[in-house]
Amino acid sequence: MMSSKRPRIFVTQPLFPQHMELLRQYCDVDVYEAGGPPPRSLLLEKVRNKDGIVCMVGDKIDAEVMDLSPNLVVISTNSVGFDHIDVEEATRRGIYVTNTPGVLTEATADLTWALLLSVARRIVEADNYLRAGKWKIAWTPTFFVGADVYGQTIGIIGFGRIGQAVAKRAKGFGMKILYYDVVRVPPEREKELDANYVSLEELLKNSDFVTLHVALTKETRHMISERELRMMKPTAFLINTSRGPVVDEAALVKALREKWIAGAALDVFEQEPISPENPLIKFENVVLTPHIGSASISSRTKMSELAATNLLSVLRGEEPPHLVNPEVKKIRPLTMVKRL
């Protein structure tokens, strides 16, 4: 039943049907169903007079969006990353920002591992070769030789949930594990994972695989640039399943062209989707996937559920399962955002 008292929300892309249904039980839901993020002009139109937004990684939720939606009390992103939201601005205005951590950790670590193995053992290159009908000689001693993984050294940059899940996999592969983060994990955890805390420089110089698991912030933007790539071994690979702008892509292209490193495997890019002109597409020693780190059925289902329950919790005036900006409660307590 429609009632003017029901909170009004905008969902920028449909969540799973059961979670859309849940939202519809309590809210008047406007959803953009065309597939992919709504064009900016449409987003700006749709957010007017909404109490809540459910958004995705491709939606830029900034001061302009917030200016147009003075009733807005909650922004629920269907992602763990929230670099697409101006959280500081939201907090200043008393808007609750929520996300979906935890439920995509293993899926993202799995994809990291798939990329690492693919680039080391040239899986995509070999598959393309076979499908193109180029396999004419059954076996030769040097045919598609790649890099070893078992027993090598992995350098994990960003040792939060996903970085540590990658370390667990690395342990099974008998690897020496180096990690770097601004925060060092407790000694018991280091011991459990056989992880060695080192400086960024030491990690870059000594790793056979460097894998990135940091959030995108002012500090991590282009944290891997020309200087860092030059420190890596010429036999080493770079893996990125975090955020594209953590790597200076122009510098990476230069590093690949000039063979400062052996290859790269990337799920995220400075511009998404990448342009067909992107020079990365031309390298055979680069594996590329279209931002699918969390794309397993169970992860995406749980993310969708969390995105819905986070939003509904705030509208009920209850603590949401995952609040990005807890300091917002001082600006506007939960009792003042209750709409249900």
Q: Tell me whether residue 21 is one of the annotated catalytic residues.
A: no
Among 11, 27, 53, 57, binds ligand DGY (CB under 6 A): 57
- Of 75-83, 136-144, 202-210, 251-259: span binding ligand DGY (CB under 6 A): 75-83
Among 54, 73, 80, 239, binds ligand DGY (CB under 6 A): 80
Considering the candidates 291, 300, 322, 339, report the single residue annotated as catalytic: 291
Cβ distance to ligand DGY smaller for residue 80 or 115: 80
**Number of residues forming the site for ligand DGY (CB under 6 A):** 7
Considering the candidates 243, 300, 322, 339, report the single residue annotated as catalytic: 243
Residue 246 CB, shortest distance to ligand DGY, in Å, is 12
Residue 294 CB, shortest distance to ligand DGY, in Å, is 3
Torsion angle, alpha carbons of 230, 234, 237, 243, to 10: 10
Across the chain, the runs of DSSP E, i.e. the strands, are: 8-11, 28-31, 52-55, 74-77, 96-98, 153-157, 176-180, 195-197, 209-212, 237-240, 263-266, 286-288
Cβ distance to ligand DGY smaller for residue 77 or 118: 77
* 81 touches ligand DGY by CB under 6 A: yes
Burial 145-170 (b: 16+ CB within 10 A, else e): ebbebeebbbbbbbbbbbbbbbbebb
3-state secondary structure of 265: strand
Nearest to 82, CA basis, from 247, 271, 211, 216? 216
Across 114-169, the runs of DSSP E, i.e. the strands, are: 153-157
Q: Which residue has the tokens 């992602």?
A: 79
- DSSP state at residue 4: T
For the chain, the straight-line distance linking the first and the last C-alpha, in angstroms and rounded, comes to 14
Mark residues 16-55: x for contact with ligand DGY by CB under 6 A, - for none.
----------------------------------------
Cβ distance to ligand DGY smaller for residue 162 or 178: 162
* 79 touches ligand DGY by CB under 6 A: yes
Nearest to 196, CA basis, from 154, 240, 239, 241? 154
Residues 293-312 that bind ligand DGY (CB under 6 A): 293-294
Residue 88 CB, shortest distance to ligand DGY, in Å, is 19
Q: Tell me whether residue 272 is one of the annotated catalytic residues.
A: yes
Q: Tell me whether residue 213 is one of the annotated catalytic residues.
A: no
Cβ distance to ligand DGY smaller for residue 109 or 255: 109
Please report the DSSP string for 26-80 in residue order: HSEEEE--SSSPPPHHHHHHHTTT-SEEEE-TT--B-HHHHHT-TT--EEEESSS
- Of 3-11, 14-22, 76-84, 225-233: span binding ligand DGY (CB under 6 A): 76-84
- Of 73-81, 141-149, 173-181, 308-316: span binding ligand DGY (CB under 6 A): 73-81
Give the CA radius of gyration of the chain: 22
Residue 242 CB, shortest distance to ligand DGY, in Å, is 8
Active site residues: 243, 272, 291
Binding site residues, ligand DGY, CB under 6 A: 57, 79-81, 104, 293-294
